Amino acid sequence: MKKRGRKSKNNLLKWIILGVLILAVLILAFVVIKVFTGKVIDSSCIDSDGGKNYFVKGTANDTYGYNVIDVCYNSSLLLEGYCIGNIVSVEYASYNCPNGCSNDACIASANNPVCIDTDNGLNWTIKGDISGVDLYGNPYIREDYCDFDIKNNPVLMEGYCNSNVFGSYMMVYCVNGCSNGVCINANSEEWCTDSDNGKNYYVQGKIVSTYVAENDSCSRVTPNVLQERFCNGTKNAIESITCPNGCSNGICLGTPTNPTIEPCTDSDGGKNYFVKGTANDMYGYNITDICYNSSLLLEGYCIGNIVSVEYASYNCPNGCSNGACVTTPTTNATSTANYTTNATSTTPVNQTTTTTPNESEVTVPTVTENNTLICTSGCLFVKSCLPYGHRTTLSYCDIDNTLKRQTNGGSCNNNFECTSNVCVEGQCTSPGLFSRFLNWFKALFGIQ
């Protein structure tokens, strides 16, 4: 009797073990089948067109197997499926397509570029994305992301819509670092910090502002000149000074003294419309006052103390002659602007440009009823409207119709923004450095 009872218990234990093994095999087989059939439940919501991409038809699938496909409601209204959060359901967003809706997506047109920013501009506290159609009619979608600049500074690549038409990236220097497409512990206000606490010429400092991170440095153009960077409120600023004992590694050498500031000078004292003058800045760039026509004066003057010079237009009440307003009325006020003119171009004598646009690209500005000059497309430069991307001696024509100063070692989106005319990975660099990099790259891969 005892042997028979022990045998029954052993058989029961075997059956229990066998049952557990069979159950484990069934569970494993179920998981394997789910994985290889593509029906395994994921812990995320996935949108095949990357999000709110109105120009590409996509399908959003959530964690519960529910999906929404983009669809045209009518000839202009698109119902766009997208994910709400990471693991929840999908919902529809309606969007009025500027070029019409077809095949369940907005129509892309090179004649009507579009840009949409989900975080509404330069917002470093919210991760967003930009989407739309570029100048070639190609749809795109790009998200904000964290990266490093050429000097290994942590940055946020913040997408935004330039002039509400073109998708661009702005490099934002996060003081507390960047994570998941946003600046850590940042608010909506801009910032600026200076490690040497201001204008300290004998300590190399570093400023980190919203869009710039630079060390104090010695000028590569002018000997013994220190370029001292400091904060002006939340904006970065730079002051160039002459060091009495020379400059090295971003500091003035020798015993602390008061170095000489290299100012911007104007021979007629500033905006003196009745005296012809010439404004000269620290970089050797100059502008001489000229008459645009018999009544409109283009007056050169300094912007700040050490920066470049720009033009201001002024309507002379008694006419303009010899680069200045006439002090008493005259019936024959003539324009004697400093220009050399030929059949194809009109170029100011005292100005040079580093790139020469085609004749068809340079347009003539419009003279308004108030006798001022405006450019409907491009940048006003003396008597011409320069095209976008065109470079003068120290400036370039930006897409917002303004001349902006070329940067030396700062952040960039295009080559023409840099003094060196070389922009690599969002940073201005010298042509020599870029050439060395290319040679290294060619040698690495055996490219002749």
Q: How far is CA 109 from CA 113, 160, 258, in A?
A: 6, 20, 60
362 burial type by CB count under 10 A (0-12 exposed, 13-18 middle, 19+ buried): buried
Domain boundary among 65, 81, 107: 107
Least-confidence region, from 9-13, 152-156, 174-178, 354-358? 354-358
Does the pLDDT of residue 145 top 90, yes or no? yes
Indicate whether 277 belongs to any domain.
no
Indicate whether 59 belongs to any domain.
yes
Q: How far is CA 157 from CA 37, 82, 122, 180, 400, in A?
A: 38, 23, 10, 11, 20
Give pLDDT, residue 216.
93
Taking residues 337-356, report their average pLDDT. Answer: 34
Taking residues 63-68, report their average pLDDT. Answer: 80
As beta bridge partners, residue 227 has 217, 240
Least-confidence region, from 240-244, 269-273, 281-285, 312-316? 281-285
Indicate whether 69 belongs to any domain.
yes
Separation between Cα atoms, residue 310 and residue 132, nearest integer Å = 36
CA proximity to 427, closest of 123, 142, 148, 161: 148
Domain boundary among 201, 228, 261: 261
Give pLDDT, residue 114.
76
Pick the more confident residue, 323 or 259: 323
Indicate whether 79 belongs to any domain.
yes
Taking residues 260-265, report their average pLDDT. Answer: 71
Pick the more confident residue, 124 or 299: 124
Does the pLDDT of residue 418 top 80, yes or no? yes
Pick the more confident residue, 190 or 222: 190
pTM over 0.85? The answer is: no
Encoded tokens for 26: 């069934």
Taking residues 44-65, report their average pLDDT. Answer: 83
Look at the chain and report how many structural domains it folds into: 2
Separation between Cα atoms, residue 176 and residue 279, nearest integer Å = 42
Separation between Cα atoms, residue 60 and residue 91, nearest integer Å = 9
410 burial type by CB count under 10 A (0-12 exposed, 13-18 middle, 19+ buried): buried
Does the pLDDT of residue 351 top 60, yes or no? no
Taking residues 365-384, report their average pLDDT. Answer: 68
Encoded tokens for 87: 């693991």
Q: Residues 115-124: pLDDT tens digits?
A: 888 888 889 9
Give pLDDT, residue 156.
94
- Supply the mean pLDDT for the chain: 75
Q: Identify each DSSP E strand in 371-431 by its residue range.
A: 373-374, 379-381, 384-386, 395-397, 403-405, 423-424, 427-428
> Which helix (H) or strand (E) segment is 208 a member of?
strand 206-209
At which residue do the structure tokens 């891969």 appear? Answer: 445
Encoded tokens for 150: 């050429």
CA proximity to 252, closest of 201, 196, 194, 217: 201
How many other CB atoms sit within 10 Å of the CB of residue 376? 9
Per the structure, the complete domain to which residue 81 belongs is given by 38-107
Encoded tokens for 361: 């690209």
How many other CB atoms sit within 10 Å of the CB of residue 108? 21
Q: Residues 79-102: pLDDT tens digits?
A: 888 887 765 456 677 888 888 899
Indicate whether 164 belongs to any domain.
no
Per the CB < 8 A criterion, the answer to whether 320 and 333 are in contact is yes
* 193-207, 305-319, 414-428 — most confident range: 193-207
Indicate whether 103 belongs to any domain.
yes
CA neighbours closer than 13 Å in the CB half-sphere of residue 326 = 18
Domain boundary among 210, 229, 261: 261
At which residue do the structure tokens 């494993």 appear? Answer: 28
Per the CB < 8 A criterion, the answer to whether 83 and 108 are in contact is no
Indicate whether 200 belongs to any domain.
yes
Per the CB < 8 A criterion, the answer to whether 45 and 70 are in contact is no
Encoded tokens for 71: 């669809």
Separation between Cα atoms, residue 306 and residue 259, nearest integer Å = 14
Taking residues 277-299, report their average pLDDT. Answer: 79
Give pLDDT, residue 346.
33
Q: Residues 126-137: pLDDT tens digits?
A: 998 888 877 677
Indicate whether 446 belongs to any domain.
no
Pick the more confident residue, 122 or 353: 122
Give pLDDT, residue 54.
86
pLDDT band at 396 (very low <50, low <70, confident <90, very high): confident
Does the pLDDT of residue 184 top 70, yes or no? yes
Q: How far is CA 337 from CA 28, 116, 276, 290, 444, in A?
A: 88, 45, 11, 5, 55
Instruction: For residue 2, give the DSSP letter.
Output: H
Q: Residues 301-334: pLDDT tens digits?
A: 887 654 445 667 788 889 999 999 998 764 443 3
